[in-house]
Structure 1
Amino acid sequence: MNGLRSSLFALFFYSGSVVAVLLAILGAVVGREPLIRVTYGWARYHRFCARVFLGIRSRVEGPRPRGPLLVASKHQSMFETIELLLMFDRPTVVLKRELADIPGWGWVARRYGVIPVDREGGAASLRRMLKAASQAIAQGRAIVIFPEGTRVLPGEQPPLQAGFAGLYKALGVPVLPIALDSGRLWPRRSFVKRAGIVTFRVHEAIPPGLPRKEVEARVHASINSLEA
């Protein structure tokens, strides 16, 4: 049954995503506002497909402040990369450059304002990321980052990537840590998903200006608070 539900989700969501990309390309030609509306429509469509075909819903624990801040989230599946778009006001997302280079979708994502990062690019890549992030903060947008890097299995707690500390120091905005447990239902590199509730635990915002070791320790503990 889970295999059938996952197949229906893939059929409807990815075919709908092709339509969304085409609409987003047209919207981006007209202006940024139509592109943002299409993006949010696509995110809501993903939520709809996850609920109807997979039986996956989300539950948010804790308040979600608005305005410019750095959202540091656990990363276990594709689910949260889209769901987080609906939890904040037009956030931009730090993602690996390979995703931003996908034909069509990558162009739309860059126009929306994602921040591509080349993990092998060294100092030059970090400078580009900091410049793009500073522009997003100046526009009053939140920045979503997955500080542990790539998706991890439930229970895994890798150290934070160096880029997080650089962003925190350069931007001078609060950090909002988010723990989640999507990997229980949406396993990494698995086609078959399971029904259930994904919990997003939003912790108290961490103020700017803390020493690197302290902020990294607090963020790491917070985003792993659902790991047992």
Structure 2
Amino acid sequence: MLYRINYIWRVFATGLSFTTFGIGGLLLSLFVFPVIGLFNRDPNVRKRKARYLIHRAWQFFLNFMQALGIFTFDLEQARQDLKGVKGKIIIANHPTLIDVVALISLIPRADCVVKQGLWNNFFLKRVVRVADFINNDQDVNKLIENCKKTLEEGYNLVIFPEGTRTVPNQPIKLQRGAANIAVRCHQNLLPVIIDCNPTTLTKQEKWYQIPPRRAQFSMRVIEEINITPFLLKEKNESIAARRLTEHIRDIFIEEALKNETIRK
């Protein structure tokens, strides 16, 4: 009986969380961001303040979900490891729907390459536009130029090499976008490994298809990937990006196996 009550509560709390997230994004867009724009005419200042506000709002959202009993978040070590990181390309695996929220909640100065769908999302389109996140639906040269600019400004660029959420029990498939950006911007990659046990909010699950117990969500930062050997070995940038993508995939697979071992 208690299990059933807990399960029903977590379904309700999950729906409440996503409703809160959507309405929160809309309220920020309609009432808070316009005030920032009104008192800050410099577009760079507006962008910086908007991104910091998103960082703090998403911190609140994670605390809200934990308080409701949906997740237990183990993020403190990752928070310390990412503290003071500046001008880095941060890559991560992508097991759940909330990965980008969790990661940006740890990084005060974060930029992100986002899918075109978010630019058209009713609740979030104003958020990503005011924050001036990078739209992945643009000319490759322009995309690289924008990525290089944000790194030079000291922002950390968050990218999910898979491009979409991982399909459970299926081989990891990576796109070459993150590697191409690293190679052409001559910037190393800082990997973050995300684990969620039991799995929830995956690509094949509806929001209400929750696990039998509260999910434990954790992150850990691992050793930075030096791209210099790939550039020296392969003079062609496209081939270097391909080899780097294969290396990232191998790391993600190895770290996934480590997570499985830890859980056992």
TM-score exceeds 0.5: yes
Amino acid at match of 1:49: F
Change (3 A) 1:47 1:106: same
CA-CA distance at 1:44 after TM superposition: 1.9
The question of whether the paired residues in 2 share the 8 Å contact of 1:27 and 1:38 is answered with no
Indicate yes or no: 2:24 matched with 1:8: no
SS state at 1:8 partner = helix
Match of residue 251 from structure 2: 222
Write the distance in 2 (CA, Å) between the matches of 1:171 and 1:88.
Answer: 21
Match of residue 91 from structure 1: 110
Paired residues for 1:46-61 under 5 Å: 46-60=61-75
Write the distance in 2 (CA, Å) between the matches of 1:143 and 1:157.
Answer: 25
The question of whether the paired residues in 2 share the 8 Å contact of 1:169 and 1:208 is answered with yes
Match of residue 158 from structure 1: 172
The question of whether the paired residues in 1 share the 8 Å contact of 2:192 and 2:220 is answered with yes
SS state at 2:229 partner = coil
The question of whether the paired residues in 2 share the 8 Å contact of 1:93 and 1:145 is answered with yes
Match of residue 95 from structure 2: 76
Indicate yes or no: 2:50 matched with 1:35: yes
The question of whether the paired residues in 1 share the 8 Å contact of 2:113 and 2:136 is answered with yes
Match of residue 147 from structure 2: 133
SS state at 1:184 partner = coil
Change (3 A) 1:88 1:38: closer
Q: Which fold has the larger relative contact order, with Cα–Cα distance below 8 Å and residues 6 or more apart in sequence? A: 1
Change (3 A) 1:220 1:94: same
CA-CA distance at 1:26 after TM superposition: 3.1
Write the distance in 1 (CA, Å) between the matches of 2:110 and 2:227.
Answer: 19
RMSD: 2.4
Number of positions where the alignment pairs a residue of Structure 1 with one of Structure 2? 223
Match of residue 20 from structure 1: 28
SS state at 1:153 partner = coil
Write the distance in 2 (CA, Å) between the matches of 1:67 and 1:46.
Answer: 24
Deviations 1:74-105 (A, max 9, x none): 11222111111122231101111221233573
Change (3 A) 1:14 1:66: same
The question of whether the paired residues in 2 share the 8 Å contact of 1:178 and 1:202 is answered with yes
Change (3 A) 1:84 1:153: same
Write the distance in 2 (CA, Å) between the matches of 1:100 and 1:54.
Answer: 31
Write the distance in 1 (CA, Å) between the matches of 2:252 and 2:114.
Answer: 18
The question of whether the paired residues in 2 share the 8 Å contact of 1:89 and 1:142 is answered with no
Q: 1:190 aligns with which of 206, 212, 216?
A: 206
The question of whether the paired residues in 1 share the 8 Å contact of 2:28 and 2:127 is answered with no
Write the distance in 2 (CA, Å) between the matches of 1:157 and 1:98.
Answer: 25
Deviates more, 1:13-22 or 1:164-173: 13-22
Write the distance in 1 (CA, Å) between the matches of 2:16 and 2:122.
Answer: 25
CA-CA distance at 1:147 after TM superposition: 0.6
Match of residue 221 from structure 2: 202
Task: Please say which structure displays the higher CA radius of gyration.
Answer: 2
The question of whether the paired residues in 1 share the 8 Å contact of 2:165 and 2:202 is answered with no
SS state at 1:164 partner = helix
Write the distance in 2 (CA, Å) between the matches of 1:86 and 1:26.
Answer: 22
The question of whether the paired residues in 1 share the 8 Å contact of 2:97 and 2:202 is answered with no
Amino acid at match of 2:13: R
